[in-house]
Amino acid sequence: MGSKNKLKRFKENETFPNVLQPQRAILEKDQFAQKGKWAEYFKNQQPIVIELGCGKGEYTVYLAQKYPQFNFIGIDIKGARFWRGAKTALETKQANVAFVRAQIELVDRLFAQDEVQEIWITFPDPQIKFKRTKHRLLNPTFLDTYNKILKKEGVIHLKTDSEFLHGYTLGLLQQSPSEILYAHHDIYNNAHAPEEAIAVQTFYEKQFLAQGKAITYLKFRWKPHV
């Protein structure tokens, strides 16, 4: 994407009522005004579902259309990407959609305890090298952070083309008291796949499928060792 297009999208994001762009310093001080008050933002008490690393926002927008009884929030540091999702949500008048430009490691500064019902993580960087483990969005530190904002029975969805990340996450879950609610190594070759896991394909997912890659899916509750 050219720099002119990026700048144009950044400027448009500033005018979108469904886009929030808190400064990192505000988040680090835990002073984000919307934290714990998302019901006021959406003007309802509907459960909140978030997508981490939402990219162009395909999943966020689709799920919001399919489940109007929930509020959906896409989170990504790359505002020029989620511009597309934010614009689509405005054009289709989806009042239950918002996007936040922020680093995922600060997600517990965006939401209060028990404020989130579900978390979707779609096609994150698997960070395969051992020295990159701390950056893996499914490592125990990140999972513990997600638990801070999830309701007691809240769930996490992971969809990825990475056999490594799928296996790594399964290993963590099997070594803890966690609940694996659904797991499959090739979601599009499974007659019983959940509809929300296959009904929409992200920009990158379409590329992976065209290359013949299998798409894996996990749905679980993280319960670390006490």
Q: Is 125 a catalytic residue?
A: yes
Task: Say if residue 96 is exposed, middle or buried (CB neighbours under 10 Å; 0-12, 13-18, 19+).
Answer: buried
Whole-angstrom distance, CA of residue 137 vs CA of residue 133: 9
Contact 120, 51 (CB under 8 A): yes
> Is 21 in contact with 76 (CB distance < 8 Å)?
no
Catalytic residue among 125, 144, 161, 186: 125
- Provide the Cα torsion 93, 98, 99, 104; round to 10°: -150
Q: Which has the closest alpha carbon to 106: 25, 220, 17, 221?
A: 25
- Taking alpha carbons only, the member of 189, 190, 196, 125 closest to residue 162 is 125
- Catalytically annotated residues: 125
